[in-house]
Every structure is written in structure tokens, then in C-alpha cells.
Amino acid sequence: MPHQTLSTRFISFVTALYLGITLIVASYTFLHAQGTPVDCATVVQKMRIAIAQCGEINTNWVCYGETQASVSPVEYRFFRPSDRRPLPVLEDVHTQIDPEEGIVLMNLRASDQWDPVRVILFGDVDVTPDTSQSSLAITMRVENGTLLCNETPSGMVVQTDEGEQSTITINGVPIVVGSTAYITTLPDGRLVVANLEGSVSVNGVPIPPGKQVVVTVTPDGIFVSEPEDSTLPDSAVSQDLVVSLREVTNSNEAPATACTGRIDFDRPFVARNVDPGQECLYEFCIDEETPVSVQMQAVDGNMNPWLDLRLSSTLRLVDFNNDFTEENTDAQLCPKPLAPGCYTIVARTYHNTSAGRFRLKLTKDPLCTPPEPRCEVVKLSGVPMYAEPSETSSLVRMLVESTFAEPLAENETGEWLRVRESRSNGEGWVRLDPHDISCELSARDGTINPASCVGLYPDDPRCGPLPTGDPPLVPTPKPT
């Protein structure tokens, strides 16, 4: 007989100030037409590659592990493996099913807990964070019942640190995990929760290792079936994830390796050696409109700096820059005077591929000279450059991935961008498609009219002023 709980009280994820979430995205292919899953060894290998791409990542950020996945809004799309995005700016993350399957990894932390909860989603899964209220709830939808491989339906595996216990809420159902659990859904939407290792309970009902329950949510409450034998622990994917998920780390949570905290004006410092994938977070606050300059200089020759400036409360992008000079050793931000509030500087390496030490300086500089705007081809197959803003005009050349170009002007409809290609100095038109080309704040000279407000200045009339009075959001290291 199922267990019945009429109370709908459950523990949700708390505000972004305390919650940390990391997502890693990867993919693999299987035969949809015949409904025949690929060998589990192939799936396991793809998951290991994705975790290696994003094994070092901040909480509350999303990392792209392999090939493609879709997010909304589109301006926060992924371009290549190791790309990272803050979860609070995303409305939806969806792993693709045709022609490739997706994998998403999350690292969660509740307000009253320092220890993380790792979650890896796989198959055709859609995740929507609900930030409409003070707490953050996660809705998961499994949209295809095809097996990825033997005993492995689309779903998620949830894991805590050894010896730790945490509560997460999936689709309104509180699940207490004290090691590793597998969660999927039936075609009618009911949750299936299996205990892969340790202790797991659903709405107060304990599940022994190797067993599973079916959960039904109705207006009258949450109904949990009696535990029964499960085949989910027999999956080679499940068995491997019990071990490989423990490789996901966040160096900024340990005092010895963290590069986070406050940064003061006119007090430059040299940061510790950072590894590829580690993104340093430094916060400052202003109580009046202020002209700001941020300078990042590589101390070690192999580091290629990258700077983001974001609102602390929402992590909305305000400004970003890769290179101030062509030597790839520095980056500089010169946004227009910032509105009062708190801001977070994200200091990292270009594409999260290099490592080393850097020097960071924050000043109030009204005469700061902004870097020249430029665009980068991000489409793997390249982007065609035409003589006129039309695909029927003559082809000038193909711009290969990672080609840089200077943005010159848009056409009247804003669908085409005239650029000067850096390698040949040749000019032409490319489609202004966010999946094809990424431009570094080309709006700064007024000639470009981006479709989105991401990266625009606080006083841009197309977006309105940035909100003020933002509370701090820079995480503090775990206490020793």
C-alpha cells in the first residue's frame, strides 16, 4: 500500500545568495529510428569526457561539456566545450535528443549546508529553475522514454559527499540523499527514485539500496509506493557515475585554493596560480554613479586573460573583454559610469584553456580608453562572408572558427553585420546570428544594434537602467 502524505510542505532550494549550482553539458548519439540504444561503454566514455571538460567549476554556474545543448535566452548560448554561464540568467536548459543526446551536471548547495549535491542529467531532459519567489525550485521533464543503453532511461543521478546527507526538491517532491540516487519519470510523469548506494528517502519513506519507489503528486498530497526491486542499479552508467561524479570540484570553496572576495579601488594585487576552468570572483559596491576601469594583466606568459563584469544580484552581463592588445596578455573593461549597486568581476582565462597568475586592478577612471570592439566566429563549420547583406550575393570567403573581425555596421534590418576580417583586412557581410558569431560589446560606438540587451551599458535606452541596490553574491570559502 502506498505511503500518503497530505502536507505539501517541502524543502526547496534557497535564494541564489546561498545556493550553488553547476551544470555540465555533453552529448552522444544512438539509433533513434530503430530504438536501439548504443553500448553503455560509449555512454560512460562520453560522460567521463564531459566531467573532465568541466571538473573544475564554480557553484551556480553552467558548463558546456561536449557538442550541443540549447538554453534560453539565446544570448546565453554555449559556443564550445568548457564554456560557462551563470544559472540565474538562464530560463531553461534543454539537452538535445536528435541527432544527439545530452548530459547536464549540476552541483547544488542549500542555504544551511556547505557540502555540495552533485546531479547529472542525461537523455532528453529539460530543466527549468523557478526564480519567481524567494526560493529556487527545479522542475525536471523527461521528454523521451528511449533507453540510452541497457537499464539506462533518461533521467538523473544525484550524489552527496561521502558521509553527508542533503535534501533536494524535484518537481515538488523532497528527496533526502545520503550517497547516490537515480531519478527518472514514467510516461505519465510520475517520478521513479532508486537507491544506488547509501541512504535515500522520498517524502519520509526510506528506500533500501537496490530498491526503487514510484511517486505520484496530486492536489491531495504526495503518494509514495512501497519499495520494490529496481534494475536501475544494474546499469553500467549508474555504476560508473557512483565513482566518477566525485571528481567534480570547486576550488573556490576551499580557503587554500580560493580566488574570491572583495576588491578595493586602487589596490591592485597578484592572484594565485589558477588552473584551467577555475574562474575567480571579486566583488565591489558603489553608492553613486561611478566611472570604473578593470584591468587584468597576465603575470605568467602562458595565461590568456578574460574579464566579465556582472551584476551581483542577477549575474546579468554588463561588460566583457578578451584582449586589450594583440599579445593576448591583458584584458580591460571601461564601461560607462555604473549605476549604484554591487558588481562581480569574473577573472578567468580565454576559453578556460590556459593557466597561471594574473594582476588585477580596479580604479575610478573617467578617461579609461575602451578596447576596440571585435567579433569572433564561433561556429565550428565556419561562417560565409558575402559582398552584400544577402545570401544571393557573391561569396567573399569563408571565415573559419576562431577568426576575429572588426564590426563596422549593421544593415537596416539588423540581420546582417559588416565586418573587417583581421587576417586579410578584407570586408564583407555576415549574418548576425548568435550561434555563428560573438561580438565583444560592439554597441559601444553606436553603430551596432544587438537584438538583445546583454552587454549593453546601464544607460542604454533600449534596455533601461540597471537595477540598483544589489546585495553581494560572491561566495565565501567553506570554513575550516
Q: Is 257 exposed, middle or buried (0-12, 13-18, 19+ CB in 10 A)?
A: middle
Q: What is the DSSP letter of 356?
A: B
What's the pTM? 0.73
| 3-state SS, residue 386 | strand
Which CATH code for domain 375-439?
Answer: 2.30.30.40
CA gap 364, 367 in Å, rounded: 9
Contact status, residue 184 vs residue 192, Cβ threshold 8 Å: yes
CA gap 329, 303 in Å, rounded: 7
Tens of pLDDT, residues 121-170: 888 888 887 655 444 578 888 877 778 888 899 888 999 988 899 888 89
**Cα distances (Å, whole numbers) of residue 39 to 121, 152, 157, 190:** 18, 11, 19, 27
CA gap 71, 60 in Å, rounded: 15
| Successive 10-residue mean pLDDT values, the chain, 480 residues | 46 37 44 55 89 82 72 73 80 70 70 72 81 63 80 90 88 93 93 97 97 96 97 95 90 85 94 84 94 91 86 86 70 87 92 89 86 81 95 95 87 88 89 79 38 35 38 41
Cell numbers describing residue 288:
553613486
Q: What is the DSSP letter of 17?
A: T
Please report the DSSP string for 422-479 in residue order. Answer: TTT--EEEEE--TTTEEESSGGGGSS---SS-TT--TT-TTT-PPP--PPP-PPPPPP
What torsion, rounded to 10 degrees, do the Cα atoms 73, 74, 75, 78 define?
Answer: 110
- Number of Cβ within 10 Å of residue 338's Cβ equals 23
Cell numbers describing residue 137:
525550485
Kindly give the interhelix angle for 236-244 and 40-53, rounded to the nearest 10 degrees: 20
* Per-residue confidence (pLDDT) for residue 325, from 0 to 100: 60
Class (C level, CATH) for 257-363? mainly beta
Please report the DSSP string for 258-289 in residue order. Answer: --EEE--TT--EEPPPB-TT--EEEEEEESS-
* Per-residue confidence (pLDDT) for residue 2, from 0 to 100: 61
Residue 272: half-sphere exposure toward Cβ, Cα within 13 Å? 14
* Per-residue confidence (pLDDT) for residue 326, from 0 to 100: 57
CA gap 85, 3 in Å, rounded: 40
Q: Is the dihedral of CA 396, 398, 401, 402 positive or negative?
A: negative
* Per-residue confidence (pLDDT) for residue 402, from 0 to 100: 83
Please report the DSSP string for 40-73 in residue order. Answer: HHHHHHHHHHHHHHTSB--TTEEEE-SS-EEEES
CA gap 354, 218 in Å, rounded: 51
Domain borders along the chain are 3-247, 257-363, 375-439
Closest alpha carbon to 466 in 457, 475, 474? 457
Cβ-Cβ contacts under 8 Å for 153 (sequence gap 6 or more): 123, 142, 145, 146, 147, 184, 232
Q: Which long-range contacts (CB under 8 A, 24 or more apart) does 381-390 make?
A: 383/430, 383/431, 383/436, 383/437, 384/430, 385/419, 385/421, 385/426, 385/428, 385/429, 385/430, 386/428, 386/429, 386/430, 387/428, 387/429, 388/429, 389/415, 389/416, 389/418, 389/429, 390/416, 390/429
